[in-house]
Structure 1
Amino acid sequence: MENPVTVAQALRHARHDFLNELQLIQMKLDLGRGQEVQSIIRSHAEAAVQLNNLSALGMPATENWLLTAELRFPEFRFHLACHAGKGAGAKDAAFAEWLERFFDGLEPRTDVAADPRCRTELNEQQSVFEIALELTGHRHEFEMPEVPGLLARKEIAADNTKIIVSAKMEG
């Protein structure tokens, strides 16, 4: 990461987003849209659970990358789902490096008007840890970084591209 996000920048961004969400909730309450308010609250509660799961993986470099991705790559809208119960701690730096190199290469080719999104899902099964990226609203031509110890594969569909980066877990 050439320009890491500072704690102050991250907190400023979080406060801004939090205030926007509170204003949205207030507006919906004023309009009598209680069901929509409940939906927003459920969505934020689920996001908090996913962030808790991410934190429990013991992969601080990957966690930091994922938590600051939206600040550093604002042309993308990121969504995180962490279903893994155990992380690949020995490969933590490699995963963060792969993500950084991938999005650095993808950024210049991204058309903001296409509303690019990245759904990121972390899974672990049978001693393999993986990060799956489902990209929508972008071009399919991009470089797949090679990082020692990680395997990456690409699946192209009509409306999205799925990339799965994986590694054997220690122990």
Structure 2
Amino acid sequence: MNEKQFSITEALRFARHDFMNQLQLIRMNLELGRVEDAKSVIDAYASRMLELAELNKLGLPKLYEWIQTAPWKYPGLNFEFSCKGEQVDERIDSPATKILDRLLGELKNRLNPYDELACHVAITAVSGVFTMGITVIGRLENLDLALISEERSVLQIRAEQLSSEEWKFTVTAI
């Protein structure tokens, strides 16, 4: 899959757009008198920033960039991520992003434009053990695992659940 590279200007434009959307959502909720909803938007945005700070601690710049730009590269997929951990071996960086790009590329190729999929990436790196759980929920077609599992030199991918409604994988450092 050809990975879309963003210039600094493009990345900043996307980031400003996303931030403006959040501000507009807060403003709309406040104008409608929905203060608790406005607070929820603020809390969700702050939580995302804390997760990004945790992700940065891993010392994996390509994965950090991938997580931040994935919603722009893969529109139609609703992304969430969580991260808890400490610095890990940098050899994990490229293989982890390649696995994610292959999986999400397959999803993008199969995605019906009228369907929305939820994609959650949960990353943990504790005591040098790196684990990345990937869960995709929505209407899904069969997946050829050979398309995403060739990065076996550093990481191992294991399918936990492959059904028409959920794909669930675990990626671990070997």
- TM-score, normalised to structure 2, is 0.87
Matches of 1:31 and 1:131, distance apart in 2: 40
Per-residue Cα deviation, 1:45-93 (whole angstroms, up to 9, x for no partner): 1111000011111001111111111111112111110112233322211
1:5 partnered with 2:44:
no
Q: Distance in 1 between matches of 2:127 and 2:60?
A: 19
- Is 1:149 equivalent to 2:171 in the alignment? no
Indicate the SS of the match to 2:86.
Answer: coil
Matched, 1:105 2:110: no
- Give 1:155's aligned amino acid: E
Give the aligned residue type for 2:42. Answer: I
* Counterpart mapping for 1:45-124 below 5 A: 45-124=46-125
Give the conservation status (yes or no) of the 8 Å contact 1:88–1:167. no
CA deviation map 1:15-68 (0-9, x unaligned)? 112112111111111121111111111111111100001111100111111111
- Are the counterparts in 2 of residues 122 and 130 from structure 1 also a CA contact under 8 Å? yes
In 1, Cα distance between equivalents of 2:115 and 2:88: 33
Indicate how the Cα distance of structure 1 residues 140 and 128 shifts in structure 2: closer, same or farther if over 3 A, else same: farther
2:85 match: secondary structure: coil
1:161 match: 167
Distance of 2:138 and 2:52 partners within structure 1: 25
What CA distance in whole angstroms lies between the structure 1 residues aligned with 2:104 and 2:136?
A: 11
CA RMSD after TM alignment: 1.8
Which stretch shows the higher mean deviation, 143-152 or 45-54? Answer: 143-152
Q: Which amino acid letter does the alignment assign opposite residue 41 of structure 1?
A: I
Unaligned runs of 5+ in 2: none
3-state SS in 1 of match to 2:4: coil
Question: Aligned partners of 2:141 and 2:86: how far apart in 1?
Answer: 31
1:105 Cα offset (Å): 2.5
CA contact (8 A) 1:140 1:161 kept: no
3-state SS in 1 of match to 2:25: helix
* Residue 32 (structure 2) pairs with residue 27 (structure 1): no
In the TM superposition, residue 157 of structure 1 has moved relative to its aligned partner by: 6.6
Q: How many correspondences in the alignment? A: 168
